[in-house]
Amino acid sequence: MTTLNRIYPDELQQQVIKEVKDNNRLISDVAKQYNVSAKTIYQWVKKRKQPLKSVSKQQDLATEIATEIANLQKRLFQLNQELVSVKGH
């Protein structure tokens, strides 16, 4: 069995995704109508969902990391001040 990697036009992908998501059609039915494998359509639908979520999650994670870095820098400064104080005595 030969696997053929086809490149589908973006317009076709958008139309197929719209059929599945907006019109609540089964992936298998849409696959038959457009002569595209159900697996391919599933991947398109899944791929279209992820960017929005992952960008939001990445932004949230970046904010959390930045906050944590700032807190750690403050704590490091405090500990360095204490160390200087202890060494001075």
Phi, psi of 82 (to 5 degrees): -65, -40
Q: How far is CA 78 from CA 24, 48, 67, in A?
A: 58, 46, 17
The answer to whether the pTM exceeds 0.75 is: no
Pick the more confident residue, 78 or 51.
78
Asked if pLDDT for residue 10 goes beyond 80, the answer is yes
Q: Is residue 3 part of a domain?
A: no
What's the first-to-final CA gap in the chain, in angstroms? 80
What is the span of the domain harbouring residue 46?
Answer: 10-88
Query: How many C-beta neighbours within 10 Å does residue 45 have?
Result: 16
User: Does residue 23 lie in a domain region?
Assistant: yes
Task: Write the single-letter amino acid at 8.
Answer: Y
Please count the structural domains in the chain: 1
Quick check: is 4 in a domain? no
Q: Outline where DSSP puts E strands in the chain.
A: none
pLDDT tens-place string over residues 64-74:
899 999 999 99
pLDDT, one tens digit per residue, over 45-62 is: 988 876 555 667 778 888
